[in-house]
Structure 1
């Protein structure tokens, strides 16, 4: 076995996406798209060509939004794991299908540049994504005919890219402000491990919110200049023009003190000169929110032990960290000069490195099994210790000569361990007695920011005499409380456990939650009187179903991605 499976890293972003691989020099590198640009707008345009529909993804799709706003989809990442639907020519498209089209474009362009097929991928997601969003992302990859090797958190991927060339241990705070999401994560980086301590954030807070603040200001300026109180955003073409203009102005203000903006609505032409000072005033509450979330995350870290909230560096990741106000505010709040580390590229590069390491480990294992087989032994346990060490050293020698990461040879026998934490809490709906009345609550079995994998078991009791079954509703939430209101949690799965007849109330039940490294939640319930068991693997309740997946794959055959 002389060849490993090449694994690509994909940063599937809210506003821009990119794909990376390990190049011929064994360094992580972004593959440019067909236009020679490293990032591709996460925008999809359904172009009507009579009986057929062309799918345009990227910059051309973004530009088409000005003329055909109702045929363009953007910011789809914010809809992952929801029941979102987009309709075009009587065809329904879910968020997973739209994201799959973006992934297809990335893969197609990468194949065109490298001459190699793109099949195995690692896709990144915000650390704050829950089970629904993660599963939806995985299924988007499958719809794009990709083998999703793994889904990893964006801050973790950035930390991998940042830490791969460093020999010393340090604790870093990753401040990741992208186009549509904000993650803040505290991570210990060492030569042998990357361990997430705590994570937080808001996957509905990102550069788009800064754009929206500009748009609202432009609407106010329209009313001031014309005296007209019509809602200009009801006009789809005007709304799209404002969206594009706001993003352009935001980028201009990262380098200059002023940005001219003009747009036409009806017979009115509006001209606005937006200063950086005014822009920062308009968006100060948004920046405040990122600081609040960062401090809240540090408070949670402090609960994990003395000094856990301390860090050596702050790393800025995500294109929106280019706004000068971000660096200025971080210095003010934390008295630390942040490190700008490949804002647009770090996440995809880290995913590529992670995928490469995983593929190498598989190569090592297969090579080891091949060498053991050549000895005629039935397994490693049949070999002498001396022979085992000999094979180990030979595999290590071959691997170190063959594979490099970050431009240097790596010891692939010693795995760089990645320890993540859960970004959500998980529990079940229970009934409690409050002031003599029955009240439903959510009882958490797994709490946010616990290290993965997690196994937790709790004992409960039946509610009524002579129950014949117990309905178990599994909930996801963002609170670390033992108990919370049902309204503060989201149902993600359910199961029903049949129990023996004639049992009294409070007969014992045992529920076990197992949350793996891959973010999948497995639930086991045992009725202890008769030892009856049910086991449920919770995937999602708000993602594309197996039947819909088959229909979507069939539908995609008639779509040409450009």
Structure 2
């Protein structure tokens, strides 16, 4: 079989179902599996002969042979959980690799050529460790994940294809095991991610689980008294009822129970109350981080099979104040977007004008001292900052005659550094002096590929120590590192050093010298406002402030 590295392949590795697509003839094309279906259940089983079963064949065994079948294992990436299937124990990474290999085999049979490089989608809120394991799974499957794209971003890419007018999306992505909310703007060929928030332990599986708990309670049996087979039958019946999503909601149990339970919409709301409540918090945080209101959302897009639930759609509609759309299949749109990103990567002519930006989903910072307290997390790049980016913060020595400073890097949102995810640390030497006398600038520069450069400058000696932390899951080639380094180097000038900002700053200073009394006070307020914008180091904030100030000066007739 001939290998074709120029094929743009995108994969949606889902908790419940997975899909694969190829970019051909100017659009994403879904690839069917051996059974002719575009969706492959993310289920693995081992039969009596030790043969591995994937997809539909394995899903059937969730009821007949649950002890030899694994599902929803993507939820446990980044944990120590393992699965005993037959005589072998598997990690979630290895099980994901089996799904990816099955998708690879289906694609190669369909395309008549071997594939190697792929773009794989992941939940926006996946940690670095979880992303690393996705890369490892791809490698085990004989693939190279050249890019991981966040699932909501992939969906927006699919929806934005061939669009020309400006729109602001809110992507409500509820899959089998994860939930993401992402605010995205489409403008002039730019797909600009404004903010993401989510919950990696919330999805359609939780709705099924709560139904199963209700049924077990109605049967008045102790869950520990149920065999694996009987429990599997209850879960399967609940899953079947959930997918029907009818107003007449009935859970039908076969032998040995032979019972049916009919539920009203009100009863379903009560059963799912806690899970539905958990959906609202990430949504509010994404809007808050994006600094927009629900009225500013143009379109609500549903992604993921669990968004088909009437109760989920009603909740999202109520919170956003508009009806959602799913003109593209919620189960398949992410795979289509991943293939679109693969086409962008290969610079296909049909998508050459699309520019995709993304955000850093977690805050990155260091452990610092605050008011006598040690180990306080001090963010330098805050969550939902558009990447690539470069930010600097100033710190001071903590005690008299201090000669060494430990720079400890963390990722997360917790107040105490130790409660966040540790990344790396290193020590620098500083001149001995009294507490607080030595100032240290710590600059983080973060590349879209995951390359983090840390520049620590000791102001008294003007000495800079640089540490490059390759946070890409499989590492980068020397050539890629050089390219990333060049991109980051361009970001490391403070925005006030950029020509338009220098020009406005000097103009304001001149006007302050020229004017008197009330007019001088007016200019003073503009200087304070622009200084605050510059200190934010946020390009969009600075550009917005500069335009407003220039308009204000023009309106006042100040030249």
TM-score, structure 1 normalization:
0.76
* Alignment partner of 1:167 is 2:164: yes
Q: Determine if the alignment matches structure 1 residue 153 to structure 2 residue 154.
A: no
Which residue is equivalent to 1:259?
A: 250
2:292 aligned with 1:312: no
- Asked whether the 8 Å contact 2:135–2:144 carries over to 1, the reply is no
Name the counterpart of 1:271: 259
1:235 maps to which residue?
Answer: 227
**Residue 336 in structure 1 maps to residue 328 in structure 2:** no
After superposition, the Cα gap between the structure-2 partners of 1:272 and 1:524, relative to the gap in structure 1 and judged at 3 Å, is farther
Tell me, yes or no, if the aligned pair for 2:238 and 2:251 is still in contact at 8 Å. no
Instruction: Tell me the residue number matched to 1:59.
Output: 56
Q: Which has the higher helix share?
A: 2
Deviation at 1:233, TM superposition (A): 7.0
- Tell me if 1:296 matches 2:285: yes
> Which string of whole-angstrom CA distances, capped at 9 and with x for unpartnered residues, describes residues 259-282 of structure 1?
232155xxx625132335233331
Please report the RMSD computed on the Cα atoms of aligned residues, expressed in angstroms.
2.9
**Structure 2, unaligned runs of 5 or more:** 477-559
Match of 2:380 among 429, 445, 456: 445
Where structure 1 has 5 or more consecutive residues not aligned to the other structure, the ranges are 362-402, 547-562
Query: For residues 312 and 502 of structure 1, what CA distance do their matches in structure 2 show?
Result: 57
Q: Does 2:358 correspond to 1:420?
A: yes
Cross-structure match for 2:6: 5
CA contact (8 A) 2:41 2:59 kept: yes
Does the 8 A contact of 1:151 with 1:518 survive in 2? no
Kindly indicate whether residue 333 of structure 2 is the aligned counterpart of residue 358 of structure 1.
no
Cα distance between partner residues in 2 of 1:191 and 1:107:
35
Alpha-carbon distance in 1 for matches of 2:393, 2:417: 19
Taking structure 1 as reference, are residues 467 and 88 closer, same or farther at Cα in structure 2, changes over 3 Å only? Answer: farther
Distance in 2 (alpha carbons) for counterparts of 1:4 and 1:111: 12
**Deviation, structure 1 residue 203:** 1.7
Q: Take 1:335 and 1:439, find their aligned partners in 2: how far apart are those partners?
A: 45
| Cα distance in 2 for residues equivalent to 1:256 and 1:60 | 31
- Out of 304, 309, 325, the residue aligned to residue 323 of structure 1 is 309
Distance 2:290 2:347 in 1: 33
Could you tell me whether the CA contact under 8 Å between 1:232 and 1:239 is conserved in 2? no
Which string of whole-angstrom CA distances, capped at 9 and with x for unpartnered residues, describes residues 445-471 of structure 1? 111111111212223344455666544
For the residues of structure 2 that align with 1:90 and 1:455, how far apart are their CA atoms?
A: 50
- Relative CO higher for 1 or 2, CA cutoff 8 Å, sep ≥ 6? 1
Q: 8 Å contact 2:252–2:259 — kept in the other structure?
A: yes
Q: Among residues 454, 457, 463, which one is paired with 2:389 in the alignment?
A: 454
Q: Would the aligned equivalents of 2:118 and 2:144 in 1 still touch at CA under 8 Å?
A: yes
Q: What's the counterpart of residue 381 of structure 1?
A: none
User: What residue is the counterpart of 1:285 in the other structure?
Assistant: 274
- Shifted more, 457-466 versus 288-297: the winner is 457-466
- Show CA shifts across 1:71-113 (max 9, x none): 3222122122333333556755333222111111111112122
SS at match of 1:168: coil
Note the 1:113-128 alignment, pairs <5 A.
Answer: 113-128=110-125
Could you tell me how far apart the structure 1 residues matched to 2:475 and 2:360 are? 25
Aligned residues, how many? 469
- How far off is 1:149 after superposition? 1.9
| Cα shift at 1:235 | 3.2
Q: 2 CA distance for matches of 1:476 and 1:77?
A: 22
State the SS of the aligned residue for 1:455.
strand
